[in-house]
Amino acid sequence: MKSLYGRISALYLLLALVLAGLCAWLSIGLFVRFHNEVDQKVSLKLAQTFFMHMQPTLEAGAYQAAVDEAAELGTMFDPALELYLLDAEGVILAHSPPPEKVLVDRVSLEPIRQFLAKAPLPIEGDAPCLEMDRRIFSAYSFEQQGGEEAFVYVIIRGKAAGTAGEMVRDSYIVRTAGLTFLVVVGLTALVGLMLFGLLTRRFRRLVGVGERFEAGDFSPRIEDESDDELGRLARLFNRMGGTITAQMEALRRTDAQRRDLVANLAHDLRTPLSAVRGYAERLRDRSLPAAEQTRHADLVLTNADRAVTLVRRLNDLSRLDARQSAPLFEPFSLAELVQDLAHKFAPDAERNELDLVADYSPDLPMIEGDVGLVDRMVSNLLENAIRYT
């Protein structure tokens, strides 16, 4: 049940069983209704037939005797028939079942009037021997002596016949239907499980490739050219894998560049620091003239400044790389910046016996940028050019 296949399969089987049970319940209900409809239609004139047999005795006013005679004749063909004689209020005037089995003294006339009005069948009415149950019936209306309406009321399947549900349960139709439902549910479950297995196999491929990615292998891809959601998900995963691979390659290149930068900075720092150490050791020699000591001290300060400049540049680079310090963009004149830098580095160029010339067009446009960073960039280029030319 922890897998997607298990959960889908369990839900599918549960749904199949519920639907099969619902279909069986509806089928049995429809069969019972159909059975009642057929029986009631066959017995449509049954009450009228009983009345014609009882009419002479009824005219003599012997209601119970008339019912007993008719019931004796009727039960010879169907022992489950129950015959009742009702007045205009539904009160039972006479009945064929034994008195101890009759549980009520009146029945509702509404179903009887529907039957006589030829409403759609089946129609169920009160069963006096079954207080909480209703049965199909046949009815006929006639006039008593004195002109009052009365009814012959025949329960077609009385208490002795059992319920329609009991008859259905014992029917071969129910056994056949039950077997059919079991076969249908079994075949449906088998086909459904096979289809779900094929469907979730594609999910399992996705999970397998994802686990390889988690383990650090970014090379696998999913081959799925279908146009459904899983196919689009597979292609999205492949594009994502390509993006991750490119980013990892970029990170490896950046890491290599960072290592080279650290190595270069270490090399650049070694030169001024070695010079500082050398000049500092010579300053410990008390026999040096004062002018020589001053020159060595100036050289120590110069190399220390160079080391501080390198460290400051490294710190600026790290802050920019971490997005802790954003460049401040503003318009400035590139011509003025070049002229200022030329004046700044002119003494260094003269000491190295170099000519530093600022050659630029006087109508250079204004540019957008961080003037401090551009100044530092060009200064670094000029410093390296003067030092190594």
pLDDT tens, residue by residue, 350-381: 989 999 999 988 788 899 998 888 988 898 89
pLDDT at 36: 80
CB 96 within 8 A of CB 83: yes
For 100-123, give one letter per residue: b (16+ CB within 10 A) or e: eebeeeebebebbeebeeeeebbb
pLDDT at 331: 94
Classified as helix, coil or strand, 275 is helix
Q: What is the DSSP letter of 156?
A: S
pLDDT at 170: 57
Tell me how far apart the alpha carbons of residues 388 and 373 are, in angstroms, rounded to a whole number: 23
CB 63 within 8 A of CB 213: no
Global pTM reads: 0.46
Beta bridge partners of 332: 367
Q: Which of 73, 137, 144, 76 is nearest to 109 (CA)?
A: 137
Classified as helix, coil or strand, 141 is strand
Given a cut of 70, whether residue 131 has pLDDT beyond it is no
Q: Which of 340, 349, 345 is nearest to 374 (CA)?
A: 340
Classified as helix, coil or strand, 242 is helix
Give me 57's structure tokens: 């005795």
pLDDT at 354: 93
CA distances 138 to 84, 117, 200, 230, 329, Å, are 11, 12, 60, 64, 102
Tell me how far apart the alpha carbons of residues 33 and 39 are, in angstroms, rounded to a whole number: 10
Angle 243-248-251 from CA coordinates, rounded to 5°: 125
For 332, residues 6+ apart whose C-beta sits below 8 A from its C-beta are 366, 367, 369, 371, 374
Write the pLDDT tens digit of every residue in 60-91.
Answer: 778 888 888 888 777 666 777 888 988 888 89
pLDDT at 10: 74
